């Protein structure tokens, strides 16, 4: 394998909308990254890596055949997650790659940053968010991702790959029960994925926001996604008419959950 420690494969083959009534996110004033001139693009979805969702991601790169790299750290570089990634990309105008996190200097001569910076988009897979973030920070992958984000490389992902970019959110990464997690903080709101597919998520998310343990934030059903540019929400999309995204906050001591207007993508 030419790229030792990495898997490479080639497949066979925005109009912005500002949604009213919501104080969408922006970087803190003291954020050292706010001076970047490139458009910082982040697309998250609740779950379900469908052909329609991947085609939309391909369009967001503004490339005819973008190089999109899966980082499956959250599954411990599980082979099944890598195989399913390549299968999902079959027949699409995407060149899929995988970057392993569990490597050694004997298996690759290229840095994580070098690999990430060669891509047009980065796809973060699902799994254990807590463990993933710990490994990223130990390896400097979080810094490499931020550099790529500042350079205009699209960041995307579902589940752990949607949660990791926010200030905080709910995770099943610990034993026993859903709990709060502190994440990268690129988007200064909270997040909850799989909002419609796991019945325990909505009440826990509501309770943690109501108690003040979590910031107000965004929840996504599976098959629904949110596009951010420069940390501002631009658009909500969905591959199914009954899949939605929401903004959840506390108003006068009561949880206010607002369904966001969406565009159906095919």
Q: Domain coordinates of the chain in residue numbers?
A: 38-264
Q: Identify whether the C-beta of residue 90 lies closer than 8 Å to the C-beta of residue 49.
A: no
Catalytic residue among 194, 206, 224, 238: 194
Residues with Cβ within 8 Å of residue 2, at least 6 apart in sequence: 8
3-state secondary structure of 68: strand
Residues with Cβ within 8 Å of residue 219, at least 6 apart in sequence: 46, 191, 192, 193, 195, 201, 202, 205, 245, 246, 248, 257
Per-residue pLDDT reduced to its tens digit, 42-99: 999 987 789 999 999 999 999 999 999 999 999 999 999 999 999 999 999 999 999 9
Catalytic residue among 27, 101, 159, 190: 159
Long-range contacts of residues 82-87, Cβ cutoff 8 Å, at least 24 apart: 82/7, 84/49, 85/49, 85/123, 85/125, 86/9
Q: How many residues does the chain have?
A: 266
Task: Determine whether 159 is an active site residue.
Answer: yes
Task: Determine whether 191 is an active site residue.
Answer: no
- CATH label, 38-264, candidates 3.90.1150.10, 3.30.950.10, 2.30.30.30, 3.40.50.880: 3.40.50.880
Q: How many CB atoms within 10 Å of residue 245? A: 24
Task: Report the pLDDT value the prediction gives residue 166, as an integer from 0 to 100.
Answer: 97
Task: Report the pLDDT value the prediction gives residue 253, as an integer from 0 to 100.
Answer: 94
How far apart are alpha carbons 43 and 229 in whole angstroms?
9
């Amino acid at each position: 394998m030419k790229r030792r420690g990495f898997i490479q494969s080639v497949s066979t083959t925005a109009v912005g909308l500002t949604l009213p009534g919501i104080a969408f996110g922006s970087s803190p004033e003291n954020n050292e990254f706010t001076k970047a001139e490139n458009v910082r693009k982040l697309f998250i979805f609740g779950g379900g890596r469908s052909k329609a969702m991947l085609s939309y991601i391909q369009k967001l790169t503004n490339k005819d055949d973008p190089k999109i790299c899966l980082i499956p750290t959250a599954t411990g570089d599980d082979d099944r997650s890598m195989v399913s990634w390549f299968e999902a990309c079959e027949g699409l105008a995407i060149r899929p790659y995988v970057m392993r996190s569990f490597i050694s200097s004997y298996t690759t001569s290229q840095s994580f940053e070098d690999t990430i910076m060669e891509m047009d988009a980065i796809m973060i897979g699902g799994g254990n968010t807590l463990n993933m973030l710990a490994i990223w920070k130990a390896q400097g992958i979080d810094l490499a991702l931020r550099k790529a984000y500042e350079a205009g490389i699209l960041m995307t992902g579902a589940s752990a790959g949607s949660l990791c970019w926010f200030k905080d959110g709910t995770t099943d990464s610990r034993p026993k029960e859903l709990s709060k997690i502190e994440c990268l903080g690129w988007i200064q709101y909270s997040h909850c994925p799989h909002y419609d597919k796991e019945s325990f998520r909505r009440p826990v998310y509501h309770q943690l926001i109501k108690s003040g343990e979590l910031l107000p934030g965004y929840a996504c059903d599976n098959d629904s996604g949110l596009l951010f540019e420069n940390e501002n929400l631009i658009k909500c999309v969905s591959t199914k008419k009954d899949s939605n995204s929401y903004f959840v906050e506390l108003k006068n001591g009561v949880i206010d959950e607002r369904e966001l207007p969406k565009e159906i993508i095919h």
